[in-house]
Structure 1
Amino acid sequence: MYLLVPDNTRIETNRIIVEGDVIVGNHSSVQYCISGDTVIMGEGVAVSGDVVAFSDARIDMWSKIGSGVKVGRNAYLGEFVTIDGKLIVEGDLDVGKEVKIKGGFEAKGWIIVRNPVPVIMFLLLYIREMMRLGKGEEVEKALEELFDDSEEGEKLDGKEPAEKVLIIPADTRISPEAIEVGGKAVIGSNCYLIGNLRVQSVETGKNLILKGSISSEGNITIGENSTVYGNLISKGQVHIGRNSRVFGGVRADAVFLHEKARVDGTIKAPSGVSFLREASGEMPPLAEVNALGKVLMVEAEEPLKGETEENLIKAADLVEIDSLIKTGPKVKIGFVPGMEKKSARTRSLARTRHFAGPRSQRKRQEAGEHQS
């Protein structure tokens, strides 16, 4: 179970805009308007705003739409569906019993009143029958046609159909305050999102703009050229890509930060902070931390081995980015190796012993010669 957000998706103040299709799992709650090509909703889905489907729309039983529904082609409504606004269908309307449309409806095609097969059951029965007959290729072709953007079956900008589908898993809660998902979240490139993310783990593409924080049980990966106006909190690892910026703090077990990325807040990582550096033709210098907490650059003895695009540079024992000296309960404040703090009386006695020692030894030697 995961949330899949395709490229160029925008979750704005009151609307979700998707260039491809939208699939909403059972018993999910979406406090936005939804706009996409084909819109498919499972059982018990609640949408507070309008639903706009440029192609087909299939809304399963017991679902509720808080405003109007506009469909560019055909619409399928299951039993006990409630639409508080007006329903406009450019094609055929297949509607079940006990459907309530408070704002009235307009349909330019055929209107059929019956009990449509539930969306999920329809797909499961169809796939099971095709697999029983050994027609796996027909199943794959049917799924591709289901999420095709055009009647002619043209390709979607050279991408697979699945890359243009917004998938909202079952029992997901999406509101302006937070996006709560019980599993993983995968966010494409060039997306604009408003709201906090609460997920098991999250991975984003390039050029993301997120106006909110991310809270995750697992890893958080922020792609290149992205901007996050909030905090990143993870019990696992946090990866921040090149030219990305976080206007907030980062708290995780370990942090991997590109050298060209920027974090305006405090970074806390018990397992350390690692810096990612781009590969170059020359041997890159290594970053080391001395006892004073200063970063010293030294030449590497051998070329670093690793990926062709990035090399990993790790500053050992880093806990906070703004506090490079790792202190413990037994470490004195301000301690520097070889320079213990001594009182003035202790230093004076040490100088006296240093000069008085050789003088006393010479006096004892002279007294012994006179006695002999």
Structure 2
Amino acid sequence: METNMITVEGDVIIGNHSSIQYCISGDTVIMGEGVAVSGDVIACSDARIDMWSKIGSGVKVGRNAYLGEFVTIDGKLIVAGDLDVGKEVKIKGGFEAKGWIVVRNPVPVIMFLLLYIREMMRLGKGEEVEKALEELFDDSGEEEEFDGKEPGEKVLIIPADAKISPEAIEVSGEAIIGSNCYLIGNLRVQTIEAGEALTLKGSINSEGNIIIGENSTVYGSLVSKGQVNIGRNSRVFGGIRADSVILHEKAIVDGTIKAPAGVSFLREAAGEKPPLADVNALGKVLMVGLEKQPESKTEEEPVKAVEPADIDSLIKTGPKVKNGFVPGMEKKSARTRSLARTRHFSGSRTRKRQGTGEHQS
């Protein structure tokens, strides 16, 4: 996404009643009903523009073009192949077509897709519908590959009622951004998930979670009512305000982080999965999601159980527990111990005299 151009190394599908204030360039360009594009539309392969759509500039098509009813093109239309055009189509700058020109009512884009899928189902190829859709938007005449990926993996899909302008990109649902993308403008979405090496010159405002991949750069702030996740070697030139934040230890945030539910850091360990670490209110790092490891022992002697000892009285102890603590024995004062000793000895003399037949007066 440049200053006034959106360039896609693949196909472009635009939902109904969307507004795009950019020029669009792609392989196959498909536009739904009531789509408004302020700039040029360049399709290296085919172009399908549904009814009531409006193009603010010219249209250039590398192969065949299909225009529905009441389509308006303010610029010039150039078609290298055949032109299938409906009624009440207005082309203010004129048109050039090197192939056949047929004036009729082309099948609407959505109906074309549904008929194609239904035919595949009738032929017993229901399991290959997804593959068939990828082949539908693929140029079979060329065997070009992009970075070893399938063409279906590089498709720009703009949902219905979306608004894309230099000021903001507004989507009423989920936004998914692939890797190695360059975008200009603020994002207003429900949730967003971005791949690696994203360059965004704008802020993100989300009702849900925000996920920024590795090696990305965001020149703006991140505002979310859910969770914000920043990947490794990524940098945010702005603040973050969210319910909770997960930040990789090698990520940089040049701003203030406000997260009522806390901030967690992803730390890398050699040969291990990076564990989570929380930071409490005092700034202390607390490990999260790991089993507690046994604390390292100092040079102190290991704890041993007290060996049992025979106790004949309240104060008599064996040699092994002398001057030691005996469970169940309460601490007594010196007077209490003296009285107990006196009772002990006097009781012994009484038992002895009774055994010999002597009586004490």
Pairwise TM-score range, normalised by the shorter structure: 0.7 to 0.9
Partner residue, 1:94: 84
Aligned partner of 2:196 among 200, 206, 210: 206
Matched, 1:70 2:60: yes
Secondary structure of 1:126's aligned partner: helix
Partner residue, 1:158: 148
Q: CA deviation at 1:143?
A: 1.4
The C-alpha deviation readout for 1:218-262, integer Å capped at 9, x for no partner, is: 110111111111100000000111111111100000001111111
What amino acid does structure 2 have at the position aligned with 1:314? Answer: D
Matched, 1:180 2:167: no
d(CA) in 2 for partners of 1:123, 1:14: 30
Secondary structure of 2:188's aligned partner: strand
d(CA) in 2 for partners of 1:253, 1:205: 22
What amino acid does structure 2 have at the position aligned with 1:184? Answer: E
Q: Would you say how many aligned residue pairs link Structure 1 and Structure 2?
A: 284
Once the two structures are aligned, what percentage of the paired residues are identical?
83
Aligned partner of 1:27 among 17, 32, 37: 17
Aligned partner of 2:72 among 69, 82, 89: 82
Aligned partner of 2:216 among 210, 226, 229: 226
Deviating more after overlay: 128-137 vs 227-236: 128-137
Matched, 1:310 2:310: no
TM-score for the superposition, normalised by structure 2:
0.76
Partner residue, 1:255: 245
Partner residue, 1:145: 135
d(CA) in 1 for partners of 2:259, 2:281: 10
d(CA) in 1 for partners of 2:200, 2:113: 35
Contact 1:200 1:216 survives alignment (8 Å): yes
Matched, 1:278 2:242: no
Contact 1:181 1:200 survives alignment (8 Å): yes
Secondary structure of 1:122's aligned partner: helix
What amino acid does structure 1 have at the position aligned with 2:67? Answer: L
The C-alpha deviation readout for 1:109-153, integer Å capped at 9, x for no partner, is: 000000000000111122124324423256445312212144145
d(CA) in 2 for partners of 1:95, 1:273: 57
What amino acid does structure 2 have at the position aligned with 1:102? Answer: K
d(CA) in 2 for partners of 1:212, 1:156: 28
d(CA) in 1 for partners of 2:60, 2:23: 12
Q: CA deviation at 1:154?
A: 5.2
TM-score for the superposition, normalised by structure 1:
0.73
**1:192–1:154: structure 2 CA closer, same or farther, 3 Å change rule?**
closer
Aligned partner of 2:235 among 231, 242, 245: 245
Question: Looking at both structures, which has the greater relative contact order when contacts are Cα pairs under 8 Å and sequence separation is at least 6?
Answer: 1
What amino acid does structure 1 have at the position aligned with 2:277? Answer: I
Q: Please provide the CA RMSD for this pair.
A: 1.6
Matches for 1:286-305 after TM superposition, within 5 Å: none
Partner residue, 1:267: 257
d(CA) in 1 for partners of 2:252, 2:59: 44
Aligned partner of 1:54 among 40, 44, 53: 44
Secondary structure of 1:278's aligned partner: coil
After superposing on structure 2, the runs of 4+ consecutive aligned residues of structure 1 that deviate more than 6 Å are: none
d(CA) in 2 for partners of 1:183, 1:162: 21
d(CA) in 2 for partners of 1:169, 1:261: 31
- The gaps in structure 2 that reach 5 residues or longer are 285-361
The C-alpha deviation readout for 1:182-226, integer Å capped at 9, x for no partner, is: 111111111111000000111111111111000001110111111
Contact 1:235 1:252 survives alignment (8 Å): yes
Contact 1:213 1:231 survives alignment (8 Å): yes
Contact 1:148 1:154 survives alignment (8 Å): no
Partner residue, 1:189: 179
